[in-house]
Amino acid sequence: MRIVSLPLNTESLTEYSTIPIRFEVKSRLSCELPGEGMGGIILREEKVVPPYIKDYDALEVAIEGEGPARWVRKFDTKNWVLFLAGEANEPIGGATVAFRTPQVHMLAGRDDLAALWDIRVHPEYRRSGIGTALFAEAAEWSRERNCNYLKIETQNVNVAACRFYAKQGCRLGEINRFAYTEPQVAQEVMLVWYLKL
């Protein structure tokens, strides 16, 4: 496996988009609020019946009208990087990092913060270390820009991603139960992870 960094443009994002970013939701982290929230928030894993497939790219198309290729039209991506992992000239994984982009609210206008905007590994190659290698590249790239934190957003229905970020040394920093308004995801909870660099 080889990982290369590429500038974000329509061509690189078209290749990146060939890597599926769908997964089966078999469980979710439910939020329990002891004392109406005065006792904190407790996350408990619960089974989802019946399981279903969540496809981030299909969701972007449904909400925004297109997938990752729109990033270069919606945002000033000159401070972004795309990492592409390949095997035999086929893309099998990728990660995108956003930095110093005023339009990205996730960055909160901070120069010491980078956002792992997207990370994906082809289903046939998951659990083979590709995600860990891509995450390490994203963290190192952020360190080289003097960032103090790498910030990552996921949802309570992506339990595997939550476990992955925790394993990489990230800490859960935010829980937003009311972040999403689109009907397709309105029931989901935003979980924001931080890696101290």
Distances (CA, A) of 75 to 69, 70, 102: 11, 8, 9
We report the CATH number of the domain holding residue 179 as 3.40.630.30
Among left, alpha and beta (phi > 0; psi -120 to 50; other), residue 55 is beta
The pTM for the full model equals: 0.93
Question: Domain count of the chain?
Answer: 1
Query: What rounded mean pLDDT belongs to the chain?
Result: 93
The parent domain of residue 44 ranges over 2-196
SS3 27: strand
Q: What is the pLDDT of residue 174?
A: 96
Q: What is the pLDDT of residue 7?
A: 86
Q: Where are the alpha helices (DSSP H) in 109-173?
A: 130-144, 159-167
Pairing mode, strands 149-155 and 113-121: parallel
Give me the residue label for tokens 């974000």.
Answer: 8
22-73 residue pLDDT tens? 999 999 999 999 998 899 999 999 999 999 999 988 877 666 667 788 899 8
119-168 residue pLDDT tens? 999 999 999 999 999 999 999 999 999 999 999 999 999 999 999 999 99
